[in-house]
Amino acid sequence: GAVVSQHPSWVICKSGTSVKIECRSLDFQATTMFWYRQFPKQSLMLMATSNEGSKATYEQGVEKDKFLINHASLTLSTLTVTSAHPEDSSFYICSALPRDPFFEQYFGPGTRLTVT
Amino acid sequence: DAKTTQPTSMDCAEGRAANLPCNHSTISGNEYVYWYRQIHSQGPQYIIHGLKNNETNEMASLIITEDRKSSTLILPHATLRDTAVYYCIVKQETSGSRLTFGEGTQLTVNP
């Protein structure tokens, strides 16, 4: 089956610093990747959609200058949280849509970010 | 995409069938019903999807009513590892369309 990995699985950073999260599709090419955020006891909220080779599309209310997304290849997308604050602490999950004619998104295991 | 309504929580005994309902009364003709689940602190996992016919795979069965206004996900023999939040999502089956997660149903399988 299709596998999506995320790195790191958890990270602790100090307020004001930046942290990068990687999302990789391991055995398929993904023209589209999605980034979600999930706060405790809440559902997943879509942050942005990234397409390989083009700028990401951000959902309303998500600051594009704070959450930098780069989809440099068909197997890698990165999310950089810049100038992190404690309120950015959350579970960040990516998903990838295979390039082949499948229609199910495959999700990564998530990255737990804690900003102190 | 059409809105879905699910119970907040359900309990099921281990080994018994778990039947998770979902209402989607505003579903349109080209929208599919998708089910995902999320085990605690993990990414969501695709389970099954369908348009109007009942579907079955190795994980579950999906029963869609004839008017398509509701559906039921059936886990035939629930195990403790099936404890998770189950999300019913309605969307068009077009490549690239995003998933909108509701609150889902917390299924707890009890020993």
Choose among A64, A73, A81: nearest CA to A30. Answer: A73
* pLDDT of A98 over the 90 cut: no
Interface of A with B in 20-49 (CB under 8 A): 31-32, 34, 36, 43-46, 49
| pLDDT given at position B96 | 62
Higher pLDDT, A57 or A100: A57
B41–A105 CB contact, under 8 Å: no
Contact partners, residue A76, CB within 8 Å, separation at least 6: A22, A23, A24, A25
DSSP per residue over B15-54, as a string? TS-EEEEEE-TT--TTEEEEEEEE-TTS--EEEEEESSS-
What CA–CA distance (Å, rounded) separates B54 from B17?
A: 17
Tallying the residues shown for chain A, one arrives at 116
> Residues B98, B103, B106, B107: what is their CA dihedral angle, to the nearest 10 degrees?
-50
What's the pLDDT at B20?
A: 98
Interface test mutation site (partner A, options B5, B41, B94, max chain A beta carbons within 10 A): B41
At A9-29, the pLDDT tens digits run 999 999 999 999 999 999 888
The strand order across the sheet containing A67-73 reads: A4-7, A19-25, A76-81, A67-73
| Total residue count of chain B as it appears in this document | 111
Chain A residue with minimum CA distance to B101: A44
**Does residue A103 carry a pLDDT above 70?**
no
Model confidence at A87: pLDDT above 90: yes
**pLDDT of chain B, 111 residues: tens digit per residue:** 668 999 999 999 999 999 999 999 999 888 999 999 999 989 999 999 999 989 999 999 999 999 999 999 999 999 999 999 999 999 887 656 778 899 999 999 999
Q: Are B19 and B104 in contact (CB under 8 A)?
A: no
